[in-house]
Amino acid sequence: MLEWRSTRMFFGILLCLPLLHLAWLLSGEFQAYLDPSPEAWTEDLEAIVLADETLTLPENPVLVVGGRRVTLWNDLPDMLAPHPTLLRGLGDATIEDITHYYDRLIGFYRPDILVLLPSYADLHLRDDKRPEDLVAAVRELVELNAQHLATAMVYVIAPLKMPLHPGDDERIEAMGKALAAWCAGESGVALIDPNDLLAGPDGRPNPALYRGDGVNLNEAGYLRLAMVLREVLNAAHRA
């Protein structure tokens, strides 16, 4: 009887290991959110550096930077072909985090086109930006890039509305307007606002285009976003 109980306990522990591992990962991720320092994403950057060592990196690529939303955009390089495209999502970094790691995360790749996709963390957990805060953060990154690289164009994707946070709609709309006004006065910078394409008949974000978390896009949502970006790049190329 004792042997059977021990065996049952052993296999019970084995069955629980995946759940325990998931809890550990989520705990570590949540701690990173709460850490205001860019060093919260040091391990994520080290993983990018390690992965790059196995790749033949393209010259003058389209470089898409941001947080988790960039990491989840797996099929974008295929959608943008023949434009050589690199996705570099850093944890769930804010724009300030991206700026902190500029040399390795952007400058290293010498992109011809830079695309910035703001993170969920710019609005929640790590930060709580107002429209003027977002514009200031984007301006700092764009100015830093201009000092280092002759990037042909910088595209800023407007913050995305989310089914999970209807209370953010007004703030995100104000952010889009503030970014549009700023971009209008900047040479080599343009805004892409996909929120209308991601909305349902009621004008709110269409849950069918988002993952179950109500925050990140699903495959169908990323497809719409990719089509917008592809058309923008192709139009610029034709011009």
1 found inside a domain: no
pLDDT confidence tier of residue 17, bands split at 50, 70 and 90: very low
Total number of domains constituting the chain: 1
What b/e string do you get for 80-102 counting C-beta neighbours within 10 Å, with b at 16 or more? Answer: beebbbbbbbbbbbbbbbbbbbb
7 found inside a domain: no
CA distance 90 to 70: 8
User: Which domain CATH number covers 163?
Assistant: 3.40.50.1110
Please give the model's pTM, rounded to 2 decimal places. Answer: 0.88
- Cβ-contact 110, 135 below 8 angstroms: no
66 found inside a domain: yes
pLDDT over threshold 80, residue 33: no
- Cβ-contact 48, 57 below 8 angstroms: no
Instruction: Kindly report the average pLDDT of the chain as a whole number.
Output: 90
Helices 169-184 and 131-148: crossing angle in degrees, nearest 10, is 40
pLDDT tens digit sequence for 153-180: 999 999 999 999 999 999 999 999 999 9
3 found inside a domain: no
56 found inside a domain: yes
CA distance 3 to 58: 60
Q: Domain range holding 156?
A: 35-238
Structure tokens at 77: 């390089």
